[in-house]
């Protein structure tokens, strides 16, 4: 029987005199379909995992941690001796941010749109993703409005359960899209096992159809 990621990480760290620390950092979604996020910290690294149960989220966090340790050169046994997901998958250039925990990772290959960025609505994609997987309703909030009239800057925060992202731009619409993009990308990357059947083109088509129906009413 193959050892779990938690067991492998525990045994690997014991050889170094270290003990991995786990923490359930968030729970989102309705009670019957809750999502749990676990964080694992050890060896100067931290890794997070999302899943439908605390046990699975803990295993995901341990698995990502093993990948990070392998990338650092530690002797991680198979099948966990793989590079981190962000290096395995085709990626789009990440946005500059000094806090990786708040920055969305690269795009997953499965179900991602090939549409140009300027033709995609991340607000619509986030809403469709949330509805399809019962994650709740994204909430948007204007956090700040600063600068002179000819050079305004708006900060918008989007929240979904205990997860939130905040972005600033010269228009409310652009700030809203940027915030939605960051949260959407984070959820896709961290829920890749659960959202593999989510197809962006179909989601955008559904969103457009809903919008047209509203206009006809």
pTM: 0.44
Residue 57: domain span? 5-80
Residue 137 counted as domain residue: yes
Residue 96 counted as domain residue: no
Looking at the structure, do residues 73 and 158 belong to the same domain, yes or no? no
Q: What is the pLDDT of residues 35-87, one digit of tens each?
A: 888 989 988 788 888 888 899 889 989 998 998 888 878 888 888 887 764 43
Residue 157 counted as domain residue: yes
3-state secondary structure the chain: CCCCHHHHHHHHHHCCCCCCEEEEEEEECCHHHCEEEEEEEECCEEEEEEECCHHHHHHHHHHHHHHHHHHCCCCCCCCCCCCCHHHHCCCCCCCCCCCHHHCCCCCCCCCCCCCCHHHCCHHHHHHHHHHHCCCCCCEEEEEEEECCHHHCEEEEEEEECCEEEEEEECCHHHHHHHHHHHHHHHHHHHCCCCCCCCCHHHHHHHHHHHHHHHHHC
Looking at the structure, do residues 126 and 74 belong to the same domain, yes or no? no
Looking at the structure, do residues 68 and 146 belong to the same domain, yes or no? no
Q: What is the pLDDT of residues 116-139, one digit of tens each?
A: 333 468 888 898 888 887 888 999
Residue 154 counted as domain residue: yes
Q: What is the pLDDT of residues 15-32, one digit of tens each?
A: 888 899 999 888 877 777
Residue 20 counted as domain residue: yes
What's residue 40's pLDDT? 92
Asked whether residue 213 carries a pLDDT value surpassing 80, the answer given is no
Query: Which of 80-84, 91-95, 148-152 ranks highest by mean pLDDT?
Result: 148-152
Residue 110 counted as domain residue: no
Residue 87 counted as domain residue: no
Domain boundary among 54, 80, 106: 80
Domain boundary among 46, 80, 114: 80
Domain boundary among 80, 106, 131: 80
Residue 188 counted as domain residue: yes
Number of domains composing the chain: 2
Average pLDDT over residues 83-101: 40
Average model confidence (pLDDT) across the chain:
75
Asked whether residue 89 carries a pLDDT value surpassing 60, the answer given is no
Look at 149 and 176; give whichever has higher pLDDT. Answer: 176
């Amino acid at each position: 029987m193959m050892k779990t990621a938690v067991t492998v990480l525990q045994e690997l760290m014991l050889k170094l005199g270290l003990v991995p620390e786990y923490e359930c950092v968030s729970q989102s979604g309705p009670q019957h379909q809750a999502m749990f996020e676990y964080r694992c910290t050890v060896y100067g690294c931290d890794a997070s995992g999302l899943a439908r149960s605390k046990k699975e989220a803990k295993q995901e966090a341990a698995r990502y941690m093993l990948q990070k340790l392998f990338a650092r050169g530690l002797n991680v046994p198979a099948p966990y001796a793989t590079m981190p997901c962000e290096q395995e998958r085709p990626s789009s250039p990440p946005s500059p941010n000094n806090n990786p925990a708040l920055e969305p990772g690269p795009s997953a290959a499965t179900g991602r749109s090939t549409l140009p960025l300027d033709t995609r609505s991340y607000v619509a994609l986030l809403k469709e993703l949330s509805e399809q997987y019962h994650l709740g309703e994204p909430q948007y909030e204007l956090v700040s409005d600063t600068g002179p009239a000819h050079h305004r800057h708006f900060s918008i925060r989007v929240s979904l359960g205990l997860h939130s992202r905040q972005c600033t731009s010269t228009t409310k619409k652009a700030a809203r899209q940027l915030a939605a993009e960051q949260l959407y990308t984070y959820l896709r990357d961290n829920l890749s096992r659960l959202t593999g059947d989510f197809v962006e083109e179909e989601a955008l088509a559904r969103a457009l159809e809903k919008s047209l129906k509203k206009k006809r009413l």
